[in-house]
Structure 1
Amino acid sequence: MKVLVTGATGFLGYHVVKRFLKEGYIVTAIGRKNEEKLNGLGAEFKRIDITESLEELDKDYDVIIHSAALSKPSGRYEDFYKANVTGTKNIIDFAKENRNLKRFIHISTPSIYTGSQERINISESTPITKKFLNHYAKTKYLGEKEVELSSLPYIILRPRAIFGEYDTSIVPSLVNAAKKGFLPMINNGRCLVDVTYVENVVQSIHLAVNSKDEYIGECYNVNNDEALELREVLKMLFEVLKISPKYIKLPYRIMFEAGRVIEWVSEKLNVDSTINRYTVTVLSKSQTLDISKIKEQLNYKPLFTIKEGLNKYAAWYLKEEK
């Protein structure tokens, strides 16, 4: 089967390409960046921005895995819209021209659920908040709507907080803060968090690609199936990395309002900031996913525990650091 992977030079996309090549698929990988990580894997790489023309691509793919997205804490709304909505519209239009297309796998995010209140065991049928905490969540929601309105044989996946080798977002931000000698801690880190090792996300994608036709049009939450307190996850992470951070206790309400101000400033100046209402909420409020649907319908089961994933990440990180 011929597979097209968007966002292949990104964190998740790279792991998807690697897994599907291993499974014997013929993979075409596209992305905006260079292809250094993809060299030697065996995929055909094309440097393409999906917000622009896709004319360079053939139109005979059996599967399209759409993982390309602009994912960062802050930035201009128009940039997020272009990447996450316009880019999705373009890949949908392209997908419709592939006569033999069997699956269109759209990688979305549970950030669309995130509000400022605690929520436990959020299911796919839970009403989506209309007060999104950042532009990423809002535009990913709009991207989902475009997929749902299409006539494609789609399946939508919403993986929570992906970490693993080549991660450039979640874990590196925590490690960098810890290495500077301090790490902000809101509500003593007692909130429950879902995190997902990247290979488990790839497993869910593989299951979706090979699912029964009766599950076309479905949406699934994905996580590691083990909700832990944030402080427990951080303890495991820093133990395997041999880092001893100092924690600074901060009040939630002050940080939330500060995040609102920092968001406004960062958007006006078009600069990135890791402090915003979304990150403050994630680091202080328990918000977990119910994944019973994907377990029952697609027989999903995590291949690695959080601890095993952190150990694999740490081995890679320490090697890269040297």
Structure 2
Amino acid sequence: MRGHRVVATGRRALGHPDYVQQDLTRTCNFKATPDVVVHAAARSSPWGSERKFHQQNIEATRHVIEFCRSRGRPHLVFISTSAVMYTNAHQFDLDETSPLPSHAINRYAASKRRAEALVQDYEGPWCIVRPRAVFGPGDTVVFPRILKAARTGRLPIIESDQPVKGDLIYIDTLVDYLLRIVELRTTGLYLLTNNCPVLILDFLGSVFARLKLPTPKRRVPVGRAMATAAVLEAAYGLLPFLGEPPLTRFGVSVFAYSKTFDVSKALRDLGPPSVSLGDGVNRFVESLLQNPTP
């Protein structure tokens, strides 16, 4: 990072001099006294137990804040999610002033919403960012599930009442925004996207074609898809050893309802995206072609 020494933390053991192994679900015990803390660790998944989301997203954030309080209250940058704003309906041009729904769309969103509240109570300077659909090399959340379903022929077309649009953000764009926030000591709440909403089916179709994956053909009405997902969630909830169900209500919602954002505040304070969406997709597809998933 430009002119800064960076110390990273994580649960895994890595042989790097600027890395400290630390499970954030426990009290932070490393000795660094930072100027800025970027809290990016989270359970980012559409599925999981309430206990795991509480431990990894709420308690971990609480421990990070306690660490900051014990180190002179440095600038805290918290990576949240735009999912805290979602409902099972089309939502267009959401911005930082848009009210949050009365009920979170899933456990992940609920846990991040509670973590945001903890950050907002922090006595030092803080910045919360809500990125939308982060993708790029190393993605373990968004595209792996989609590509696996497409590769096995299990990805349906969810029939909505209108073409579904959505915003995304390329990983390098997000990282560069975080660097700007650190360098400018920016505070407050920011929505972050590539400021380039796409038609979801057309966007995925172009990616599938470049990866030589089959185009989804099977059409399922959104009501039936939601009902099927609810049954699967109930069954997998009773039998946790099965892991994540092949279809979740959140997953259906992603394909059934538009989500676009007005990022005028970020454009004004932080500047334009550093990598265009088109260039980001090209880089991502190239990485997948070079390192295909088995």
User: TM bucket by the smaller chain?
Assistant: over 0.9
Report deviation, 1:73: 1.3
**1:201 and 2:174 equivalent?**
yes
C-alpha distance in 1 between matches for 2:280 and 2:291: 17
Aligned to 2:10: 31
C-alpha distance in 2 between matches for 1:149 and 1:268: 36
Amino acid at match of 1:223: T
Report deviation, 1:130: 2.1
- Choose 250-259 or 135-144, whichever is displaced more: 250-259
SS of 2:291's partner is helix
- Choose 116-125 or 136-145, whichever is displaced more: 116-125
C-alpha distance in 2 between matches for 1:319 and 1:84: 33
- Choose 80-89 or 255-264, whichever is displaced more: 255-264
Aligned to 1:291: 263
- Give me the CA root mean square deviation: 1.9
Report deviation, 1:269: 2.3
C-alpha distance in 1 between matches for 2:57 and 2:4: 26
Aligned to 1:116: 88
Aligned to 1:184: 156
Of 108, 111, 125, the match for 1:136? 108
Between the aligned residues of both structures, percent identity stands at 26
C-alpha distance in 2 between matches for 1:262 and 1:181: 18
Report deviation, 1:317: 1.6
Of 244, 253, 258, the match for 2:228? 258
Report deviation, 1:100: 6.9
1:56-71 equivalences in 2 (<5 Å): 57-71=30-44
Amino acid at match of 2:292: E
TM-score in terms of structure 2 length: 0.93
Aligned to 1:98: 71
TM-score in terms of structure 1 length: 0.85
Aligned to 1:227: 197
**1:239 and 2:209 equivalent?**
yes
Report deviation, 1:166: 0.6
**1:73 and 2:46 equivalent?**
yes
SS of 1:72's partner is coil
C-alpha distance in 2 between matches for 1:311 and 1:111: 26
Paired residues of 1:240 and 1:311 also in contact (CA < 8 A): no
C-alpha distance in 1 between matches for 2:237 and 2:77: 31
C-alpha distance in 2 between matches for 1:294 and 1:303: 12
Amino acid at match of 2:192: V
- Choose 201-210 or 80-89, whichever is displaced more: 201-210
Q: In the TM superposition, what whole-angstrom CA distance separates every residue of 1:15-37 from its partner, at most 9, and x where no partner exists?
A: xxxxx3xx2421111111343xx
Q: In the TM superposition, what whole-angstrom CA distance separates every residue of 1:197-252 from its partner, at most 9, and x where no partner exists?
A: 0011111111111225xx52x10000110111111210221233232333211110
Paired residues of 1:224 and 1:306 also in contact (CA < 8 A): yes
SS of 1:121's partner is strand
C-alpha distance in 2 between matches for 1:131 and 1:144: 15
Gaps of 5+ in 2: none
C-alpha distance in 1 between matches for 2:69 and 2:40: 17
Paired residues of 1:157 and 1:221 also in contact (CA < 8 A): yes
Q: Kindly tell me: are residues 181 and 254 of structure 1, through their superposed partners in 2, closer, same or farther at Cα, counting changes over 3 Å?
A: closer
How many residues of Structure 1 are paired with residues of Structure 2 in the alignment? 290
Gaps of 5+ in 1: 1-19
C-alpha distance in 1 between matches for 2:124 and 2:209: 45
Of 310, 315, 321, the match for 2:281? 310
Aligned to 1:159: 131
Report deviation, 1:263: 2.4
